[in-house]
């Protein structure tokens, strides 16, 4: 169960969090378009071709990053047990994020 929550948190960290935006920036561009009614829509444009485009696609897909994050965590947990503390921290942060989302949804 700990690996599940750790994978969830690591995936969100890579795909969505601002703090890791520098990892995505070489591969992604956020494009804003103003509609006729004045609303602004944002789109993710993936930069480049070939390998660069493939990495951009990967970094924009939480399903894809989730698989690779899970694989990374399982391998590090299995071969480097010392990483258990990092995995525990990610798991606790993942559970906290889920709880915060639930609380925010029902507190309004």
pLDDT tens readout for residues 59-108: 999 999 999 999 999 999 999 989 999 999 999 999 999 999 999 988 86
CA atoms within 13 A on the CB side of 90: 23
Model pLDDT, residue 108 = 67
Residue 35: its pLDDT value, please? 86
Radius of gyration over alpha carbons of the chain, in Å? 17
Q: How many angstroms separate the CA atoms of 18 and 34, rounded?
A: 23
Burial class of 8 by CB neighbour count within 10 A (0 to 12, 13 to 18, 19+): buried
CB atoms within 10 A of CB 105: 8
Please provide residue 6's backbone torsions phi and psi, each rounded to the nearest 5 degrees: -65, -40
Which region holds residue 38: left if phi is over 0, alpha if psi is between -120 and 50, else beta? left
pTM of the model: 0.82
Average of pLDDT values for 7-27?
Answer: 94
Which percentage of the chain shows pLDDT scores above 70?
99
Of 88, 24, 82, give the one whose Cα is nearest residue 52: 24
Distance separating alpha carbons of residues 6 and 38, to the nearest angstrom: 40
């Amino acid at each position: 169960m700990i690996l599940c929550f750790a994978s969830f948190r690591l995936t969100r960290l890579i795909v969505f969090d601002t703090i890791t935006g520098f990892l995505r920036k070489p591969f992604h561009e956020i494009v804003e378009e103003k509609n006729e009614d004045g609303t602004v829509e944002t789109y993710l444009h993936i930069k480049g071709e070939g390998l660069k485009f493939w990495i951009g696609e990967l970094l924009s897909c939480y399903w894809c990053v989730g698989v690779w994050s899970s694989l990374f965590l399982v391998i590090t947990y299995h071969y480097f047990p010392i990483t258990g503390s990092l995995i525990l921290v990610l798991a606790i942060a993942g559970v906290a994020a889920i709880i915060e989302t639930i609380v925010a949804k029902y507190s309004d």
